[in-house]
Amino acid sequence: MDTQPNSPEARDIRYNLHAYTNARRHQEAGPLIIEKGEGIYVEDNSGKRYIEAMAGLWSVAVGFSEQRLVDAATKQMSKLPYYHSFTHKSHSPLIDLAEKLVQMAPVPMSKAFFTNSGSEANDTAMKMIWYRSNALGQPQRKKIISRQRGYHGVTIASASLTGLPNNQISFDLPIANVLHTASPHYWREARPGETEEQFSTRLAEELEKLILAEGPETVAAFIGEPVMGAGGVVVPPAGYWEKIQAVLKKYDILLIADEVICGFGRTGEMFGSQTYGLQPDIMVMSKQLSSSYLPISALLINDKVFEPLADESNRIGTFGHGFTAGGHPVAAAVALENLRLIEERDLVGNAREVGAYMQQRLRELSSHELVGEVRGIGLIAAIELVADKATKAPWGQPGALGALTNGLLQQNGVISRNMGDALAFCPPLIITRAQVDEIISALKTSLDEALKQVKA
């Protein structure tokens, strides 16, 4: 790290409070400053190049240098740089994107509502559900069930839905009316001798017991990612979503599919809901919607959600919710062009085909002394690191081995992200087999280097 008083690193330490960072540790370690991006690669301010194996934050589908997105932004910026959707106002990119998303949806949807991030979208989903319950004359029906290890954002409401301790400790979260049921991580949570189907059945039964204990008339919705992302890339076990949805249907509980990470090709289908047979009432999307070139997110709602909202807004005189930049014309124009690119270049097919290759190559590392589990689908995966394969015990403090290996991997030219002891891989959808091989080579080297330190 450059320690000169006016170096970018020193100025960053002086002026920035970083997200998801130990603020005291940052004062010692300083930042990795990324200056350029091209394809699946990024380059730091010393000129070192890395494979961005997390697509930024699970999100840069088309890579870091797509000129068509730059041109779409420039063209829209010169025509209409900003407008809003309050009080009956609209603009062409907003209309075009809403139409596109509703028509793309894997199940019938009625309307799109635009926000700026996944967190805002999930916060909005909670407000919509409460508003709907009041519209239906069910003021007691306000509880939303999420899952342990689920990730749904960091606003007060969405962080309450999130099922990860670090998003709630010292923030006085979760708020009232948010419940959590078990994580569907078979490798970690299954009982001895329990098959995947039996594990899924048990989780569905636990969900039903929770609903009955709370009172079905008080439970409004269930939220889940088709594949859990930030909770460690947890892939649902056999039969899981079928059994969970049967319980929800039995008690007339809405399903919110959080497609923020899975949406637009990540799992090898356009939506994770298609991969796992979800029939959501609300779909939440962001990240790959614009490849994160500009902030934008959206909710799709079906008529079961929209009609009561419309009635209540008519009774009150307005739907009193919205964001200054929701559906921003430049972001919407970029999102539309991004979706065109995903379709034209069959990046969903690439995620399926190259994703299968990535899964195969990662599983070749299963025999490594430090690898407890390899899991994933399409172009999203994780390897779980352990000190003892038999007991699944960590090395020292939980997360220490993941942090060590992640640091070594970065030194070896690949940016990943460790979530505890799970190393995640979620590269841009444009990745090739040869580039997957580059990741695997660096990963194997890093695992071997970590093993030497563990043994030492």
Find out whether 316 and 352 touch, Cβ atoms under 8 Å: no
Task: Provide the pLDDT for residue 3.
Answer: 72
CATH, residue 356: 3.90.1150.10
Q: From residue 96, give the alpha-carbon distance in Å to each of 29, 60, 103, 329, 338.
A: 45, 22, 11, 10, 13
Find out whether 319 and 313 touch, Cβ atoms under 8 Å: yes
**Is the domain of 98 the same as that of 188?**
yes
| Spatial separation of the C-alpha atoms in residues 442 and 456, rounded to whole Å | 21
Task: Provide the pLDDT for residue 456.
Answer: 87
- Tracing tokens 């594990």 back to the chain, one arrives at 199
Helix (H, G, I), strand (E, B) or coil at 341: helix
**Is the domain of 102 the same as that of 134?**
yes
Q: Tell me if 374 is assigned to some domain.
A: yes
Cβ burial of 84 (10 Å; 0-12, 13-18, 19+) is middle
Q: Tell me if 16 is assigned to some domain.
A: no
Q: Which residues pair with 90 in a beta bridge?
A: none
Q: Tell me if 2 is assigned to some domain.
A: no
**Is the domain of 280 the same as that of 303?**
yes
| Spatial separation of the C-alpha atoms in residues 203 and 142, rounded to whole Å | 22
**Is the domain of 206 the same as that of 250?**
yes
CATH, residue 271: 3.40.640.10
Q: Tell me if 321 is assigned to some domain.
A: yes
Task: Provide the pLDDT for residue 236.
Answer: 98
Which one-letter amino acid corresponds to residue 370? Answer: L
**Is the domain of 386 the same as that of 331?**
no
**Is the domain of 118 the same as that of 245?**
yes
Q: Where are the beta strands (DSSP E) in 143-186?
A: 143-147, 178-181
**Is the domain of 259 the same as that of 350?**
no
CB-side neighbour CA atoms (13 Å) of 387: 14
Q: Tell me if 3 is assigned to some domain.
A: no
Per-residue H/E/C for 258-287: ECCCCCCCCCCCCCHHHHHCCCCCEEEECH
- Tracing tokens 């635009």 back to the chain, one arrives at 114
**Is the domain of 350 the same as that of 266?**
no
| Spatial separation of the C-alpha atoms in residues 287 and 426, rounded to whole Å | 12
Q: What is the pTM of this model?
A: 0.96
Q: Tell me if 182 is assigned to some domain.
A: yes
Q: From residue 32, give the alpha-carbon distance in Å to each of 2, 65, 415, 427.
A: 11, 20, 11, 19
**Is the domain of 125 the same as that of 252?**
yes
Q: In terms of residue numbers, what domain contains 433?
A: 32-62+346-455
**Is the domain of 86 the same as that of 209?**
yes
Q: Dig out the tokens for 366 from the structure.
A: 């299963």
**Is the domain of 333 the same as that of 290?**
yes
- pLDDT means per 10 residues, the chain with 456 residues, are 85 96 95 97 97 98 98 98 98 98 98 98 98 98 98 98 96 97 97 97 98 98 98 98 98 98 98 98 98 98 98 98 98 98 98 98 97 98 96 93 98 97 98 98 98 93
**Is the domain of 54 the same as that of 113?**
no
Can the peptide bond before residue 329 be classed as cis, meaning omega within 30 degrees of 0?
A: no
| Spatial separation of the C-alpha atoms in residues 327 and 314, rounded to whole Å | 23
| Spatial separation of the C-alpha atoms in residues 234 and 455, rounded to whole Å | 29
Domain boundary among 317, 344, 371: 344
Q: Tell me if 26 is assigned to some domain.
A: no
Domain tally for the chain? 2
Q: Tell me if 432 is assigned to some domain.
A: yes
Task: Provide the pLDDT for residue 71.
Answer: 98
